[in-house]
Amino acid sequence: MRHKRIYLAWLVLHFLIIVAISCREVVWLVAHRLTALPPSWSYLAQKVEPITARALGQTLASSNPLRRAFLTYCHLAGTERGYGYFAPNVPDSFRLGFGVDYADGRSEYTLPAVNSRAAGLRVASLLDEIGRTPHPALREYVVKTIAGTIWREHPDAVKVRAVFGVTKLPSIVEFEQGKQEDFEFLYGYDFSRREAAAPLPQP
Amino acid sequence: MLRVGLGIQTIFYAVSLQYDWNYLFARTGHELVGPELPEALLSTQSPLVPRLGWLTAVGIRIGLSESIVLSIAWWLLVIAGAALVAGVFSRASAVVAWLVHLSAAKSAGFLCYGVDNFMTIGFFYLVFAPLPDRWSVDQRWQKARPQDRQLLGFWRRVLQLHLCVIYFFTGLTKASGTGWWDGSNLWRALIRPPFTGIAIALLELSYPFFIWGRRTRAIWLAGICTMHVAIGLAMGMYLFALVMVVLNLAAFAPNGFVWKICASPGANREQPETCREVEAH
C-alpha cells in the first residue's frame, strides 16, 4: 500500500512537470506572436508567461538547490524541454559556409564536413541553434570554433570568411512565377591567421 | 519490447556516429565544437547531470588519453546495447546505456536533436521498469520469479501517458501555426518532405484520445508509426524514426497483439499469463 502511494505521488509529480514544461512552451509561442492566434491571446499569454516561469522555478537563482534538483531530475528523465517539433511552422534551413583565401590570391568555398548522415543531422541542429540564439557572443564563439576546423583542413590559408544565412523557400505563388529558393545573408565573420591562433574565449 | 528496441536503437546510435565520435566529443583541438561550452552551460543548470568530461577526467587521472576514454565510452554503448537486446545483465546494461548516452547527449549540447531526448525518456523508464523480463536471457539463467505484473503495467502506463502528452502538445503547437492551416506548410512539404500538412497535426493532436480505444488503437498506432517511418525515409532521420516507433510499440502494440490472441475464437485458453497481462493494463 505504501509503495503504491509512493508510485502514485511520483506519477502525479512527473506528469505535472511534463505538462507544465509543455504548457510553458505553448504559452511562450503565443506570447511571442509566433502562432495564428489573435493578438489578444498574445496579450493574455504575456500575462501568463511569468506565472508558468515561476511555477517551473525559472525565477529562482541559478544556485538555488531546489531549482538545481528540479533541473537535474528533468535532465535525467529527458523532460527538460517541450515537444514542439517542426512547430508552429516548418522552419527555414540555416546554412554556414566558409570562404578560404590563400596567400597567392586563390580562394575556395567549403562547408563543415562530417563522415555520416547521422552526424550531418547533428550539424544541422547546431546551425539551427546558431541561427536562433539571441546572444551574438555565443553565435560568434560557435562559428569561430567551427572555423577552427576549417583552418586545420586548410593550414596554408591566410584568411577564412564565415557566411551564415538562411535558405528561404518560395511560396506557391512565387514558385509559379519561377522563383527558386533563396539564400538570405544573416551574419558574416572574418578570421585571419593571427586571430585563429589566439586562444578562444572561455565560456 | 522497450528493452530490445532501445538496445537496437543504442547500437544504431553508436554505429552511426562511429566515424565522427571523436570529432564531435573530443577536446583535443580536432573537434567540431567541443564539449567545453555545452558542459559549462550545463553546470550552470545542474552540476550533477552526467557528462563525458567526467569520464575523461577519470581516464586522464589513471593515465588514459582522451581518445581512449571516448573509445571506451563508444564500446560501452555498443556492448550495453547488445546486452539489452539479448537481455543479459538487463538492469546493469540499461543503467550503463542510459548514463553513457546521457553523458554524450549533454556533452554534445548544440549537436543534439529530438532523438537524444526520446532515447533519454526511454532509458529512464527502462532503468526503473521491472527487469529482467520473461523473454530475457537473465530470466533463464537466474530462474527468477516473473516480475510483478502490476508494476510492469504501471511502467507501461507511464510510457503510454507520456506519449499521449508528447503527441498532444506536438499537435497543439503545430495546429497553432498558420502554415499548417493555410496550406503553405503543405507546400513546403512538397519541397521538403515529409510534412503532409494538417493531417500530421490532427493525427498527433487526436492521439491521446483515440489510442486508448480498442477499435481505434490499431489505426492510430499504424498512422503514427507510418508517419515516423516516412520522416525517417524522407529526411534521413532513421534514428529518430526508430526510437519513436520503439516507444510507440512498447507502449501500445503488445496490448493490441495480446488482445487479438485472447479475442480470437481459436485462441489457446492455456495462456492465462498473457491474458492477465491485458487485465493488468
Show Cβ contacts of residue B89 under 8 Å, excluding neighbours closer than 6 positions: B83, B138
Output the pLDDT for position B255: 54
| Over residues B72-84, mean pLDDT | 94
- The last residue of a domain, from among B147, B175, B199: B147
- The domain tally of chain B equals 2
pLDDT digits (tens, 9 = 90+) for A84-141: 776 666 667 888 889 888 888 888 888 887 888 888 888 888 888 888 888 888 888 8
Q: Is A88 exposed, middle or buried (0-12, 13-18, 19+ CB in 10 A)?
A: buried
Task: Name the DSSP class of B88.
Answer: S
Output the pLDDT for position A1: 64
- The last residue of a domain, from among B147, B178, B210: B147
What is the C-alpha to C-alpha distance for residues B231 and B194, in angstroms, rounded to an integer? 6
Q: In this complex, is the C-beta atom of B44 within 8 Å of any C-beta atom belonging to chain A?
A: yes
3-state secondary structure at position A189: strand
Grid cell of B207 as nine digits: 492521439
- The last residue of a domain, from among B147, B175, B207: B147
What is the C-alpha to C-alpha distance for residues B202 and B262, in angstroms, rounded to an integer? 32
Q: In this complex, is the C-beta atom of B193 within 8 Å of any C-beta atom belonging to chain A?
A: no
Across chain B, mean pLDDT equals 81
Q: In this complex, is the C-beta atom of B169 within 8 Å of any C-beta atom belonging to chain A?
A: yes
Q: In sequence order, which ranges of A32-116 are alpha helices (DSSP H)?
A: 39-55, 65-77
Same domain, B142 and B218: no
Please provide residue A148's backbone torsions phi and psi, each rounded to the nearest 5 degrees. -60, -40
3-state secondary structure at position A158: strand
Show Cβ contacts of residue B274 under 8 Å, excluding neighbours closer than 6 positions: B258, B261, B262
Same domain, B23 and B40: yes
Same domain, B174 and B254: yes
Q: Is B38 exposed, middle or buried (0-12, 13-18, 19+ CB in 10 A)?
A: buried
What is the C-alpha to C-alpha distance for residues B12 and A102, in angstroms, rounded to an integer? 41
Which residues are A110's β-sheet partners? A98
Output the pLDDT for position B158: 93
Output the pLDDT for position B180: 66
Output the pLDDT for position B191: 58
Nearest chain A CA: its distance from B84 CA (Å): 19
What is the C-alpha to C-alpha distance for residues B169 and B176, in angstroms, rounded to an integer? 10
Nearest chain B CA: its distance from A51 CA (Å): 19
Residues of B in contact with A15 (CB under 8 A): 161-162, 165
Domain boundary assignment for chain A: 2-77, 93-197
The one-letter amino acid code at B104 reads: A
- Number of A to B CB contacts under 8 A, please give it: 181
Same domain, B26 and B129: yes
Nearest CA in chain B to A150: B32
Phi-psi domain of A96 (left: phi exceeds 0; alpha: psi -120 through 50; beta: other): beta
Are the Cβ atoms of A36 and B178 closer than 8 angstroms?
yes
Output the pLDDT for position B265: 46
- The answer, yes or no, to whether the previous bond of B272 is cis (omega within 30 of 0) is no
| Over residues A59-81, mean pLDDT | 91
Q: Taking a C-beta distance cutoff of 8 angstroms, is the pair B83, B93 a contact?
A: yes
Show Cβ contacts of residue A106 under 8 Å, excluding neighbours closer than 6 positions: none
Q: In this complex, is the C-beta atom of B127 within 8 Å of any C-beta atom belonging to chain A?
A: no
- Interface list for B 87-126 with A (CB within 8 A): 102, 106, 108, 110-114, 117-121, 123-124
Phi-psi domain of B183 (left: phi exceeds 0; alpha: psi -120 through 50; beta: other): left
Same domain, B59 and B175: no
Output the pLDDT for position B187: 64
Nearest chain B CA: its distance from A129 CA (Å): 6
Same domain, B237 and B253: yes
- Say whether pLDDT at B14 is over 80: yes
Same domain, B127 and B6: yes
Phi-psi domain of B89 (left: phi exceeds 0; alpha: psi -120 through 50; beta: other): left
Phi-psi domain of A105 (left: phi exceeds 0; alpha: psi -120 through 50; beta: other): left
- Say whether pLDDT at B91 is over 60: yes
Q: Taking a C-beta distance cutoff of 8 angstroms, is the pair A93, A167 a contact?
A: yes
Output the pLDDT for position A88: 64
- Say whether pLDDT at B262 is over 60: no
Show Cβ contacts of residue A131 under 8 Å, excluding neighbours closer than 6 positions: A94, A164, A166, A186
| Over residues B176-181, mean pLDDT | 72
Same domain, B84 and B18: yes
Structural domain span for residue B166:
151-281
CA gyration radius, chain A = 23
Task: Name the DSSP class of B179.
Answer: G
Same domain, B190 and B274: yes
Q: In sequence order, which ranges of B46-143 are alpha helices (DSSP H)?
A: 52-61, 66-86, 90-108, 114-128, 137-142
Asked if the ipTM is above 0.90, the reply is no
Residue whose cell numbers read 538496445: B7
Same domain, B209 and B91: no
C-beta atoms surrounding B77 within 10 Å: 23
Nearest CA in chain B to A80: B117
Same domain, B124 and B207: no
What is the C-alpha to C-alpha distance for residues B42 and B99, in angstroms, rounded to an integer? 15
**What separation in angstroms does the CA of A166 have from each of A127, B143, B230?**
10, 59, 25
pLDDT digits (tens, 9 = 90+) for B48-72: 999 998 998 999 899 888 889 999 9
**What separation in angstroms does the CA of B175 have from each of A84, A151, B150, B204?**
11, 44, 37, 10
Weakest mean pLDDT among A29-43, B15-29, B194-208: B194-208
Output the pLDDT for position B54: 92
Show Cβ contacts of residue B145 under 8 Å, excluding neighbours closer than 6 positions: none
What is the C-alpha to C-alpha distance for residues B35 and B107, in angstroms, rounded to an integer? 5
pLDDT digits (tens, 9 = 90+) for B92-124: 999 999 999 999 999 988 888 888 999 999 999
Same domain, B133 and B224: no
What is the C-alpha to C-alpha distance for residues B226 and A101, in angstroms, rounded to an integer? 48
